[in-house]
């Protein structure tokens, strides 16, 4: 059984909150301070509780709509195969969320507008929009 380290994340979260917001653009893949979350919400990994995420949409200059990435290869609704750089991961459509741009770290890739549109269409289909 995995034990979540909320206390360690709380210390890291204070540093995340003290950061300045960063400029981002839709279609970027960035590392994100995801943190330790509640229940089945997706967590960050490692000592800094990070994971890569696709920026789906920017909301002003302080918020971004993101889709976390996972290496888990699940062929069930809510997971969308996603190739970027030389990697094959899955986007977690079911874990889409709005985050502060203070959580966003280094940019590791930028996907094409066509690929971003394909992702947005998959989101609409998944949520029956």
CATH class of segment(s) 6-126: mainly beta
* DSSP state at residue 71: S
**Average pLDDT for the chain:** 93
Domains of the chain, residue spans: 6-126
Give the pLDDT confidence of 26-55 residue by residue, as tens digits.
999 999 999 888 888 898 898 899 999 999
Q: What is the dihedral of CA 86, 87, 91, 95, to 10 degrees?
A: -120
Could you give the CA distance from residue 46 to residue 48 in angstroms, rounded to a whole number? 6
Q: Which of 46-60, 74-88, 101-115 has the lowest mean pLDDT?
A: 74-88
In angstroms, how far apart are the furthest CA atoms of the chain?
A: 41
DSSP 22-56: ----TTEEEEEE----STTSPPPBTTTTEEEEEEE
């Amino acid at each position: 059984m995995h034990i979540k380290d909320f206390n360690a994340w709380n210390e890291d979260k204070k540093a995340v909150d003290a950061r300045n917001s960063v400029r981002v653009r839709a279609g970027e893949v960035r590392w994100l301070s995801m943190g330790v979350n509640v229940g089945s919400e997706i967590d960050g990994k490692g000592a800094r509780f990070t994971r890569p995420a696709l920026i789906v949409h920017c909301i002003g200059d302080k918020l971004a709509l993101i889709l976390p990435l996972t290496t888990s290869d699940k062929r069930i609704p809510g997971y969308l195969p996603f190739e970027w750089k030389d990697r094959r991961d899955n986007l977690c459509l079911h874990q889409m969320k709005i985050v502060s741009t203070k959580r966003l770290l280094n940019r590791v890739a930028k996907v094409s507008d066509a690929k971003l549109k394909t992702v947005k269409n998959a989101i609409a289909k998944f949520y029956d929009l």
